[in-house]
Structures are given as structure tokens and as C-alpha cells.
Chain A
Amino acid sequence: DADVTQTPRNRITKTGKRIMLECSQTKGHDRMYWYRQDPGLGLRLIYYSFDVKDINKGEISDGYSVSRQAQAKFSLSLESAIPNQTALYFCATSVADTDTQYFGPGTRLTVL
């Protein structure tokens, strides 16, 4: 079984809809991250959480919100999706005292 799972894997939605992307991990890591990947731009950090009570904005948090429901679950929401939020979204986890991040398989989101 995968250590970091993301649901859904693919989603097509319309402008203005609310969307939630979910991430679960069985690695027991405290830290979780949400990234967005666009062609030619690499990975950009949206939000990160160092534990259940800790939520921090990343480089591109506008238009997104997150919820850390438990150590193992970290969800990303788009309250009102817009076309330029079409991208590949990755969840990642890490142990508190290391830099190595472990990634989920990604969610491909298309906003029409």
C-alpha cells in the first residue's frame, strides 16, 4: 500500500465550484505539505503543517485553504475554483527533524 495517498487522482470542475483534495499518510510523519506543479515552474508550496495545530501559508496560498484533521490527514480546498488553478497538486510528508519529503501520486485538477 502507498504511504502517501491522494484522492481524487483526477478531477474536472467548473469555475466557481468548491473543491476539496484529500491527502492521507501512513508514515507517521508530523509534517505535511501541499504543492502545486505547473509545466516549467517546478513545485510551488501552497500550505504546510508541522503538526495538527500548526498551519502555515506557503508561497502561493491565495485562493486556497487547508485543514489538518489529524496527524495522518491534510486536505486542500479551493473555495471558488478558477481556471488558472488548473494544475497538478501534490501532497508530501516529512519527519520533523529531516528535510526529506515523501510525495503522494498527485491530483490532476482541471478547472473549466
Chain B
Amino acid sequence: GQQLNQSPQSMFIQEGEDVSMNCTSSSIFNTWLWYKQDPGEGPVLLIALYKAGELTSNGRLTAQFGITRKDSFLNISASIPSDVGIYFCAGQSNSNYQLIWGAGTKLIIKP
């Protein structure tokens, strides 16, 4: 079946640092979504990408839909304490409308 590899699994960063995480797929996707999950809550959509090469920002967050349609990355600039949480990528192909989810990247800010 379709697989999504999300990396890194976790990140320890200093407040103010930039963060980068990515997802790669074994197959082509037509949609990439990035979600964030805070402790005790459900995932919340951050950015949706629908075209290969598309670069989209949401405040300090920027995400890109890879040209090959098999990857996507999410950058967070100048991290702040409220950025902690788990970030998930999810992809969807036209052949299978179900979302395929990455395992998540846990962001931890060093005190």
C-alpha cells in the first residue's frame, strides 16, 4: 500500500530557531496537507497544497508541494513556545481518496 515517510520523528530546538520537516511518498499525490496536533486535542489543518511546485505560507509557516508530487516540506520560522506539538503530513491521490498520514514530527522547544 501507499506509504508516507515523515522526518524527523522529533526535534529539540531553541526558541527563535527555524524548523524544517518533510514527507516523502512512494507514490504520487495530488494533495498534500499539513496538520498540527496539540496535546489532548485533535489535529488542526495548517496548510493545504494542491499543485506541484506550489509554495504556500500561513504566518510563520511555509509549505511546498514537491515538483515530483512525491514529497512536501514544512518550514517554521523563528519558533515560539506555542509551536510545540506534533506535526503531521497527509497526502491524497486521485486513485484513492483516503488520506494517507505520516507518523508525525514531534516538536519540542528546549527551555
Contacts and interface: CB of A to CB of B under 8 A. Distances in A.
Given A40-B9, A58-B98, A99-B99, A106 B45 contact: no
A103 interface: yes
Given A99-B48, A99-B92, A100-B33, A45 B42 contact: no
Interface size class of B (residues with CB under 8 A): 20 to 34
Contacts of B88: 42-43
Given A42-B88, A99-B92, A100-B45, A105 B101 contact: no
Contacts of B43: 43, 90, 103
A48 interface: yes
Contacts of B103: 40-42
B101 A44 contact: yes
Contacts of A101: 45, 99
Contacts of B31: 99
B82 to A, nearest CB: 18
Contacts of B4: 42
B29 to A, nearest CB: 10
A90 B99 CA distance: 14
Interface string A1-18: 000100000000000000
Nearest to B50: A99
A92 interface: yes
Contact of A99 (B1, B6, B33): B33
A40 B101 CA distance: 11
Residue of A41, A99, A100 contacting most chain B CB atoms (<10 Å): A99
Nearest to A56: B98
Interface of A: 4, 40-45, 48, 58-59, 90, 92, 99-106
26 contacts: A4-B42, A40-B9, A41-B103, A42-B6, A42-B88, A42-B102, A42-B104, A43-B43, A43-B88, A43-B90, A43-B101, A45-B99, A48-B98, A59-B98, A90-B42, A90-B43, A99-B33, A100-B33, A101-B45, A101-B99, A102-B45, A103-B44, A104-B42, A105-B41, A106-B40, A106-B41
